[in-house]
Copies of this chain bind each other. A is one copy, B any other.
Amino acid sequence: MAKQKKAPRPKAQTPKGFRDYFGAEVTERAEMLKTIAGVYHQYGFDALESSAVETVEALGKFLPDVDRPNEGVFAWQDEDDAWMALRYDLTAPLARVYAQYRNDLPLPYRRYAMGPVWRNEKPGPGRYRQFYQCDADTVGAPSVAADAEICAMLSDTLERVGIPRGDYLVRVNNRKVLNGVLEAMGVSEEAQAADVLRTIDKFDKVGESGVRELLGKGRLDASGAYIDGVGLSDDQAEPVLAFLTSKGADAAKTLANLRDAIGGSTVGATGVDELETIATLLDAGGYGRDRIEIDPSVVRGLGYYTGPVFEAELTFEILDEKGRKRQFGSVSGGGRYDDLVKRFTGQEVPATGVSIGVDRLLAALREKGRIGSSVQGPVVVTVMDKSRMAEYQTMVAELRNAGIRAEVYLGNPKNFGNQLKYADKRQSPVAVIAGGDEFDAGKVQIKDLILGAKLAENASLEEWQDRPSQYEVARGDLVAKVREILDLYQ
């Protein structure tokens, strides 16, 4: 014990790559999660909350082949030397849960899940090691009606949390179409297919001509470095470029272009048929091109998913850190993946789902001023006379019973200026003041802090006198007067 006292003081520091969230940051997220859960629920999805901890074995992707698995996850050994880790997403736990409870769960199983996930990656600006995901998945439904439903739900969700129609777009593509294109190109070797996939993943950045160069001989990078190409001939590269640029004026035209691009490939035809079914279902549901569209230039996730792929983008522009205009970009992605449960049971189980990046979506809403503009602190009942604490508490109780957020000042009451500074720091709209004189007279002082601050900044002496920001009212009118002032600032 004596030894410990000599130990240096610990640093009070958020661990590297993590964040603390205060006040409205927390409540606004909670509000958004509740809204999203409401939409998911209405679509028939059921909540699931698995533990934050999984066995590394069940997480799969990150099996420890060295002393300690530190590739992407936070992991440790338990008392039986088994490796445990924090989940890195909500899909891997769903696979484990579905395999474990499959005899008791309905089939198909629609579930939603929301919560933090952890990544043991190098943190960067806006990139944290813990962040929220909000997923919905349908397990055991082979029909692309399930995919269409997810797209419709995603569209509804974005509008429900406050992104108006026109400010977002859900774009849909299909991995099977790409597979058909590869077949049409005569690319059957796995390594070469992977090269093509890696190349089209750069389509967003380098555009059509860039992809053309990278599929062929190679390309001189913006940095001056030469990037080797895949080595396909121009003819061979043509179908994949036709695929990426096949978006037409409407779904029918896009689908026709895709049919051209896949040539005679069967899997490709299945893929185009699936996109057509999705388009038909969404159309019947009233989800037009202003909300959801078939867009073969969506390449993110094509390497991971096995069928339809979706991405939701916010289309309005924001200013980046250098003051340049750019689109806000992706806030959600998903698609169909058919070997979710196979690792555990050996049986292939079809699944499709979507993940919403809640923190990005919140950032977008804040950027547009749709949330976070009107944070209001509690009414502060100040303490002029320490011995009357019970009476101040009664005032606070009256305010709270009327549904007004209120508190009594609990610091050292000696310096009254500190109490008003405190109210200021708390962003309090109103302070209540009562000392001996007021108690004797059955009165109370009510100070409008918002008006007071405005006057202090701008007003001339005349205005100041004309528009008092402090009112003396009868003790019985406390709640009514506070309410009157609060209503001014709603």
Q: Which residues of A contact B (CB under 8 A)?
A: 7, 9-16, 18-27, 30, 34, 37, 41-44, 46-55, 57-58, 60, 63, 68, 70, 74-79, 84, 86, 96-97, 99-101, 106-108, 110, 116, 118, 129-130, 138, 140-143, 145-146, 148-149, 152, 277, 280-281, 283-286, 343-346, 377-378, 380, 389-391, 393-394, 397, 400, 403-408, 410-412, 422, 425-426
Closest 10 CB pairs of A and B: A44-B407, A284-B390, A12-B99, A26-B47, A18-B51, A141-B410, A44-B378, A12-B100, A76-B76, A21-B49
Question: Does A15 lie within 8 Å of B54, measured CB to CB?
Answer: yes
With A11-B57, A15-B54, A15-B55 given, name 8 new contacts (CB 8 A): A10-B57, A14-B96, A16-B78, A30-B47, A44-B378, A52-B130, A145-B393, A281-B393
Contact across chains for B412 and A9 when beta carbons are under 8 A apart: no
B129, B140, B146: the one within 8 Å of A53 (CB): B129
- Choose one: B10, B346, B403, B412; the contact of A142 (CB below 8 Å): B412
Q: Are B43 and A400 in contact (CB under 8 A)?
A: yes
Residue contacts A-B, CB under 8 angstroms, 23 given: A9-B345, A11-B55, A13-B96, A14-B50, A15-B51, A16-B78, A18-B51, A20-B50, A20-B51, A21-B48, A22-B48, A23-B47, A30-B47, A34-B34, A42-B403, A42-B405, A44-B405, A108-B411, A142-B412, A145-B408, A152-B397, A281-B393, A285-B390
Is the CB–CB distance between A20 and B76 below 8 Å? no
In the complex, how many angstroms separate the beta carbon of A26 from the nearest chain B beta carbon? 4
Contact partner of A389 (CB less than 8 A), chosen from B22, B281, B286, is B281
| Contact in complex: B393, A10 (CB < 8 Å) | no
C-alpha gap A280/B387 in the complex (Å): 11
With A47-B23, A48-B21, A345-B12: A42-B284 Cβ-Cβ less than 8 Å = no
A281-B390 contact given A20-B48, A51-B14, A53-B129, CB 8 Å threshold: yes
Whether A10 touches B343, Cβ cut-off 8 Å, given contacts A391-B284, A393-B145, A393-B281, is yes
Complex Cα gap A399–B30 (Å): 27
Instruction: Report whether B44 and A20 are in contact in the complex, using a CB–CB cutoff of 8 Å.
Output: no
Judge whether A30 and B19 touch: CB under 8 Å: no
Partner of A52, one of B30, B52, B60, B145: B52
- How many chain copies does the complex carry? 2
Please, how many angstroms separate the alpha-carbon atoms of A143 and B390 in the complex? 13
Give every chain B residue within 8 A of A389 (Cβ-Cβ).
143, 145, 277, 281
Known: A74-B53, A75-B76, A407-B110. A46 touches B22 (CB 8 A): yes
Q: A9-B344, A58-B10, A58-B12 are in contact. Are A19 and B393 (CB under 8 A)?
A: no
Let me know if A149 and B408 touch, CB within 8 A: yes
Measured in the bound complex, the distance between the Cα atoms of B52 and A301 in whole Å is 29
What's the Cα separation between A41 and B16 when bound, in Å?
Answer: 30
Q: CA A43 – CA B397 in complex, angstroms?
A: 9
Contacts of A285 in B (CB 8 A): 390, 393-394, 397
Contact (A43, B10) CB under 8 Å given A26-B48, A49-B20, A74-B76: no
Q: Would B146 and A410 count as touching, CB distance under 8 A?
A: yes
Contacts of A405 in B (CB 8 A): 41-44
Contact, CB under 8 Å: B425 / A106:
yes
Contact B390 A107 (CB under 8 A): no
Contacts of A43 in B (CB 8 A): 400, 405, 407
**What distance in Å separates the Cβ of A59 from its nearest Cβ neighbour in chain B?**
9
Alpha-carbon separation in the docked complex, A84 to B286 (Å):
51
Closest to A392 in B: B145
Q: Which residues of B contact A16 (CB under 8 A)?
A: 78
Pair A149/B410 contact, Cβ less than 8 Å: yes
- Selected from B19, B42, B408, the residue in CB contact (under 8 A) with A400 is B42
- Assess the A100–B284 pair: CB atoms within 8 A: no
In the complex, which residue of chain B has the Cβ closest to the Cβ of A381? B44
Closest chain B CB from A478 CB (angstroms): 15
Once the chains are docked, how many angstroms separate the CA of A75 from the CA of B84?
11
Determine if A23 and B46 form an interchain contact, defined as CB atoms under 8 angstroms apart: yes
Known contacts being A110-B407, A422-B107, is A60 close to B10, with CB within 8 Å? Answer: yes
The answer to whether residues A343 and B51 also contact, given A138-B410, A146-B410, A389-B281 and a CB cut-off of 8 A, is no
Contact partners of A377 in chain B: CB under 8 A = 44
Do B149 and A393 touch (CB < 8 A)? yes
A79 CB contacts on chain B under 8 angstroms: 70
- A426: which B residues are within 8 A, CB to CB? 44, 106
List of B residues within 8 angstroms of A14 by Cβ: 50-51, 96, 100
A92 vs chain B, min Cβ distance (A): 11
